[in-house]
Structure 1
Amino acid sequence: MYKNKITQALMLSAGMAVAATSFSTLAAEVPAGVKLAAKQEMVRGNGTEVESLDPQKVSGVPESNVIRDLLEGLVNQDGHGNLVGGVAKSWETKDNKTWIFHLRPEATWSNGDPVVASDFVYAWQRLADPKTGSPYASYLEMTTMKNAVDIISGKKSPDALGVEAVDAHTLKVSLEKPVPYFASMTVHTSMKPVNQKVVEKFGDKWTSPENYVGNGAYVLDKWVVNERIVLTRNTKYWDNDKTVLNQVTYLPIENQVAEMNRFLAGEVDVTYEMPNEHFKRLVKEYPEDVKVTPYLCSYYYEFNTTKAPFDNEKVRKALSYAIDRDVIAKFIVGKGETPAYNFTPLATNGLEVDMPEYSKLTQKERIAKAKALLEEAGYGPGNPLKFDLLYNTSENHKKVAVAIASMWKKQLGVTAVLENQEWKSYLDSKRQGNFEVSRAGWCGDYNEASTFLAIMRDGHSQNYPRYSSASYDSQLDKALTASSDAERAQAYKKAEALLAKDMPILPIYHYVNARLVNPNLGGYPENNPEDNIFSKDLYIIADK
């Protein structure tokens, strides 16, 4: 059901009608008859300490959760993933290459400055500028924005980017190729505006609570590292009258059992995750609190293809074939996740996949192939394979890593030494290429297959495996220039087949989103597969 609604949203963003699409109400609409609690404050578990609150310098989900409340982009989503206006009250395109966004004149920054088109120009040029060092710079390449590739590679100045402030409230975006879903891409964290004079005045310290200026529904009140981030209502937000929650607190709880216990004690309203081993009990004992929703995310391991022996396709395939994905999906995580033999979640719009041949084999047959491949690569009892397996600190990630390492040891005699790092160090290790095999997860930045497949393009800032394939890149190029949805789907299908053949990543499972949610929390979105939760849409219901 949710897929049809997302398709509708993408049709809107595609500009199928020349007339502008307008939106008005964004914030929480409390249903008639619902009695609100006197205290409108919410506490959310957020998984880990955030790397930063600068939208152009982050790449993770925990960071996006907070920034979504502090900063507002051109376009938002409702609880079903449909596009709704943010700073842009309307937009239009005639050819999917030139996009015009009309900004709300009432939109202001938390310091009283008006939000204007040049704020987006500055932020997007900053995203592309190599001096920023953004881990999401390649996202602009995916939009095909004019000159993005040359700017990111240092060949052109950031002011050559295909974005222009026609006037204070009109933004013009020029793409090199038609992208019918471009409007949906502006929802992403990296595309949110920043206040130029504040960033330039304070530099990296602009994200401190005393300096932070945002244009979202909330302002940064307190940030106690490794303890909490507290947000309060932004009274200057253009739609503040419809916001209900007065305070939102984010807690960086890495231990899922500890987070669960704090929820059950009434200290947390929404958890980041759930402990896998407690899921069935929680469903039985607290059915009203357990929320399992669609989620466009893939869980996988990355091979550093620039380091031996992982520069050998046979080694990568052997390790992939030897793991039992059914056991991991059903018993190790076991919340409704599905085994993955391809990268992109199967519910993604525009995706058609021919499952790879090894997915059709029995596990016994896969193991036999894995042993043969490893032997061909020169490994066996006389020369056992040993390597480090990196994952970010999390009991759930540890359980998966322990299970997979056990499978490798039992079936292949391979030793994987588990190494966990806290979030910031883990991200830095991957960006620097300081790993052999690493846990990874990717969630769609918009609902279209390119949001997954593009990160494996040679040179992409999120291509941590350092995968390089001219054939693969050509399929993505064909998808961008496709004249029909069917032609684009064929290109994606061939790209997925190349990933299965070359195996730079080891797909493990496709996510669902399972968390504990206070039954008194109204407005919680259960049908947004990108899990974009806006606190301005939520409210606390009074106890009956």
Structure 2
Amino acid sequence: MTKLFATTALLTALAMPAFAVQPAEGETLAENQTYTYWLLDAIKSLDPALNTDVEGSDALRSLFEGLMTESATGEMIPGMAESHEVSDDGLTYTFTLREATWSNGDPVTADDFVFAWQRVVTPETASEYAWYIELMNVDNATAIIAGEMTPDQLGVAALDDRTLQVTLSAPTPYFLNTLSHATTYPVPRAVVEEHGQAWTQPANIVGNGAYTLASHNLGVEIVFQKNPAYWDAENVVMETVRGVTVNDTNVALTRYQAGELDRVQIPAGQFPRLSEQFPDQAVSVPQGCSYAYVLNLGETGPEALKDQRVREAMALSLNREVIVDQVLQGGQRPAYSWTHWAIDGFAAPEDGMQDMPMDQRLERARELLAEAGYGPDNPVRLQLQYNTDESHRLLAIAAQQFWRPLGIQVELNNVEWAVHTDRLQSGNFEVARYAWCADYNEASTFLDWFRTDGYNSGKWSNAEYDQLLADARTAEDTAPLYQRAEEILAEEVPAVFVYHYAKVDMINPAIKGLPRENLLNTWYAKDLYRVAE
């Protein structure tokens, strides 16, 4: 993993200077510095402790700033932390914070980070991302989440207003890479305590990011304005950022072509045509996300899915190559592992089903279903749930068609995003479309999802798998542990992996500063600018 700050024991990294956004040679800044981007669904929460969505994270990166941010190529660069020191044993990180203020003029202090992190792991907060602090190996996080210790015992402390100390339970090579994630952002204690759950309303919210929240019409649009109190405001060019919700990608594309949007996802199957017609606008780059059909193996799940043979038959018979080559057509890759193929240092297991010809896979799938007592005359009956989006619908239809001849009859159930995520969390589904996007560039960001006490919506559990992930936290060489973990996923099939993402967009050529070499595709509005057309 690439790290900007030195991690040699007790070596203080020099504060990096701010880099002003500059137009390239021959470019002229437009008078109107506004960026309007597409959102598929409503942003559920603007609370860093409660957000779980990619769209929400995009918004939070404008409103708040963590210890680290990312460069256009995904390298970690200073955010609120000017520098840091690491102890000899790799367990203690001491960060020196830059002088900065909240949007209301109050100083940002180390205590704001302490309060925010403790709030995430406090059981009463009910943060779905509490496990992220645990994944970072912050000391005592596991016990606090379990209710065995109090939040004030978390391994984070304010030594003074500008010095934050983090104590880890084990040396964690990827620790710095976790610090640009929204879950780790500071929040203003006084504002949260004054307004409670209403603190993220436009009239109340206070942030330390490059933008403030001008308005938020849930499910319609969200608007950000440049924050004059941001520590590096003089180098922020884009004045206004708007996110517009459009549930239909084809309608969104029409609005892009009408000049109403500056960036929009290309609908499934349309990238070849659009890239030929608009080579300066159609873009496809690898994106660190994986798409899967999660199988409910918990108490609320269907009996048929408890049989591993049924799950394996579903995985074998899904023709991923047809999905990426004929349905999506945007540079995606078939997924035979949960971890995205481009994750730093990851090597997928070999000799899996990806090496079997499709006819052999189908033959084996029929054999497995027959052994389990199923077939065309006695079909497995399942419901596949997906959230509103044309691509999800097309993929669900394809899966339905692949499985039907084998005796797996799938009823499709389309619901809105908020309903979809609530049902996943409560276990109210049988098979559900899901995607996971990397929180940092290391395989554990994917594999930890399937831990028994991980996000793991399907409630699959495997003791060997859990131990492999626990061992990987302190292992010098994680590769064989991660490979074995992926082998277990392939053997037990808690989900049917479908494809690895590519970011397939139409982007207005006038918008500059969007990253194309960052696998996580995390973008920062403060780095954007619009050139005159």
- Which TM-score band applies after superposition, normalised by the shorter structure? over 0.9
Matches of 2:434 and 2:412, distance apart in 1: 14
Distance 2:69 2:273 in 1: 36
Aligned-partner Cα distance in 1 for 2:339–2:501: 11
Is it true that 1:121 corresponds to 2:114 in the alignment? Answer: yes
User: How far apart are the structure 2 equivalents of 1:407 and 1:508?
Assistant: 13
Match of residue 372, structure 2, among 373, 377, 395: 377
1:403 corresponds to which of 394, 398, 412: 398
Cα–Cα, structure 1 residues 166 and 39, in superposed 2: closer, same or farther, change >3 Å? same
> How far apart are the structure 2 equivalents of 1:29 and 1:145?
38
More displaced 10-residue stretch of structure 1: 122-131 or 13-22: 13-22
How many angstroms apart in 2 are the aligned matches of 1:58 and 1:304? 23
* Alpha-carbon distance in 2 for matches of 1:13, 1:62: 32
Where does 1:446-457 land on structure 2 (aligned, <5 Å)?
A: 446-457=440-451
Question: Which residue identity does 1:167 align to in structure 2?
Answer: D
Q: 2:84 is matched with which residue: 91, 100, 103?
A: 91
CA RMSD across the alignment: 1.4
Task: Show the counterpart of 1:233.
Answer: 226
Report the Cα offset of residue 26 of structure 1: 5.0
Judged with a 3 Å threshold, the aligned counterparts in structure 2 of structure 1 residues 174 and 309 are, in CA distance, closer, same or farther, namely same
Normalising by structure 2, report the TM-score. Answer: 0.97
Residues 345, 247 of structure 1: CA spacing in aligned structure 2 closer, same or farther, 3 A cutoff? same
Q: Give 1:32 deviation, angstroms.
A: 4.8
Shift of 1:314: 1.0
Letter in 2 for 1:518: N
Q: Over residues 518-544 of structure 1, what are the superposed CA-to-partner deviations in whole Å (9 max), with x where a residue is unaligned?
A: 10111121111111100100000011x
Which of residues 243, 246, 251 is equivalent to 1:253? 246
Is the counterpart of residue 341 in structure 1 residue 336 in structure 2?
yes
**Aligned equivalent of 1:194, options 180, 187, 194:** 187
Count the aligned residue pairs.
Answer: 529
Confirm or deny: 8 A CA contact 2:374 2:407 kept in the other structure. Answer: no
Q: Deviations over 1:159-190 (max 9, x none)?
A: 11000011101110000010122111011111
The SS at the match of 1:416 is strand
Contact 2:172 2:474 in 1 (8 A): no
* More divergent stretch after superposition (24-33 vs 63-72): 24-33
Q: Give yes or no for contact 2:120–2:127 (8 Å, CA) kept in 1.
A: yes
Q: Please give the alpha-carbon distance, in whole angstroms, between the structure 2 residues aligned to 1:86 and 1:499.
A: 36
Residue 277 of structure 1 corresponds to which residue in structure 2?
269
Q: 1:522 aligns with which of 505, 512, 520?
A: 512
Name structure 2 gaps, 5 residues minimum.
none
In 2, Cα distance between the equivalents of 1:427 and 1:194?
A: 25
Matched, 1:435 2:429: yes
Instruction: Measure how far apart 1:350 and its partner are.
Output: 2.5
Q: Is 1:176 the counterpart of 2:169 in the alignment?
A: yes
Check conservation: 2:286, 2:519, Cα contact below 8 A.
yes
> How far did residue 14 of structure 1 move?
4.8
Q: What is the CA distance between 1:13 and its match in structure 2?
A: 6.7
Identity %: 38
**Which whole-Å deviations, capped at 9, do the CAs of 1:209-262 have from their partners, x for residues lacking one?**
111111100000011122110110111000000000110000111211111111
Paired with 2:460 and 2:20, the residues of 1 have a C-alpha distance of 42
Aligned to 2:287: 295
Which secondary structure state, in structure 1, belongs to the residue aligned with residue 18 of structure 2? coil
Decide which of 89, 96, 102 is 2:96's aligned counterpart.
102
State the shift of 1:398 in Å: 0.8
- Alignment partner of 1:305 out of 285, 292, 297: 297
* Aligned equivalents of 1:57, 1:119: Cα separation in 2: 17
Q: Quick one: which amino acid aligns to residue 180 of structure 1?
A: P
Q: Deviations over 1:39-64 (max 9, x none)?
A: 10110102211111111101111111
Partner of 1:4: none
What is the aligned partner in structure 1 of residue 523 from structure 2? 533
Once the two structures are overlaid, the 10-residue window that deviates more, 86-95 or 424-433, is 86-95
Shift of 1:30: 3.0
Distance 1:13 1:437, change over 3 A: farther
17 and 201 in structure 1: CA distance in 2 versus 1, 3 angstrom threshold: closer
